Structure 1
């Protein structure tokens, strides 16, 4: 790979790191919001409502985005874009539920470890299929070794927390949601490529996720689960902004997935997520969120895994993506 061809990849990687940092902010906000509202699904509903309002405003004020939304309906009507590619928002809803459920139990850093372990595993699998908008990427030794380095680094950091009494389902839930996020990113990339609009792709995610969460919230309220209210403390206003951070993550990764592929996107987002989690644990600590040398060494290991996976000799040729 020539040095000139590395510039777009590096740029897309840096943008994706910023997106990953936004994801760590979303996790902290939704974890605290779930405690205030009384249930993870309630927190997910508010998060998606805020996100939907953000992208909805962007869609309304942008002539180009409105035209792109009409193009999306035309593509669906003509069956040039499969309807099931609109379902990525369901994965986003599961991510927010996982954040609100497990972060109070194990903190942002541990959630990040489990989530991105699922994300890189899912990315490795998804990249070997025809789902990514940039086409299939053949597996090779360096890509696999890079992912193994990442997973080993995460396992190293997670060891102490797993031995402290955290229930087994706690890391499993973010792991599954992370794996499904890889599928979501591939779907988003297709929608963005077909409509030429990241705003439309992001709006689809939040619309579908919000609709599913309305149903889930209604079921909980009918079953007798109480809604405990909204944040009232002056310093809690920002925990309502989880959806806005989610908009940043989805919009940026929707643009960069075609350049990086799902696996590399997952790795760069992982590193940004880890850096963001470390910063949060230092600047806005919660009980149990202690930055240790183990966590820092894990972040360094993740970066090494990213470098190995992104090395020029590991750039597996992409097979052309099928026309939709």
Structure 2
């Protein structure tokens, strides 16, 4: 296993949890859609600057990619919107555990069927047991 990549993704997970709290508070102050927009605007400007400085790809090749690959921005906006909307109501931990459960189950089905051009990795009994534990964790985190 490439531990550097795992560490980078782990740090990304930390960032997502902090982002949820920050954006949830922002949405309470200025509005849910407005907070989502501002978050994406700041992120877009940041990525534009990073692209200018560090970018090695060719943005003009966008016309050659399958059109379905362009929905990532829509999915990202929906994701941030859902966190801005829900975090003030259910808390960061409940929102993030919900995201994690959904991500792991959905990504396992993507792997199982080899969807989106991914390598096919079958769902086995161990993963099903993991799903059950995840659902139990979701219940425990969100139970009031």
Please say whether Structure 1 and Structure 2 have the same fold, judged by a TM-score greater than 0.5.
yes
* Structure 2 residue 6 is the aligned partner of structure 1 residue 13: yes
The alignment covers a number of residue pairs equal to 144
Q: Distance in 2 between matches of 1:141 and 1:28?
A: 35
Asked if 1 retains the 8 angstrom alpha-carbon contact of 2:36 and 2:81, the reply is yes
Match of 2:36?
Answer: 44
* Structure 2 residue 110 is the aligned partner of structure 1 residue 126: yes
Match of 1:154?
Answer: 138
Match of 1:54?
Answer: 46
Structure 2 runs not aligned, ≥5 long: none
Match of 1:86?
Answer: 70
User: Deviations along 1:285-322, whole A, 9 cap, x unmatched?
Assistant: xxxxxxxxxxxxxxxxxxxxxxxxxxxxxxxxxxxxxx
Asked if 1 retains the 8 angstrom alpha-carbon contact of 2:111 and 2:118, the reply is no
Q: Which has the higher contact order (CA 8 A, sep 6+)?
A: 1
CA RMSD of superposed structures (Å): 1.8
Please say which structure displays the higher CA radius of gyration: 1
More helix by proportion, 1 or 2? 2
Match of 2:58?
Answer: 68
The ranges of structure 1 where at least 4 consecutive aligned residues each deviate by more than 6 angstroms after the TM superposition are none
Match of 1:288?
Answer: none
Cα offset, 1:133, TM superposition: 5.1
How does 1:149-188 map onto structure 2 within 5 Å? 149-160=133-144
Structure 1 runs not aligned, ≥5 long: 1-5, 161-324
SS at structure 2 position matched to 1:137: coil
Q: Distance in 2 between matches of 1:109 and 1:133?
A: 32
TM-score by length of 2: 0.88
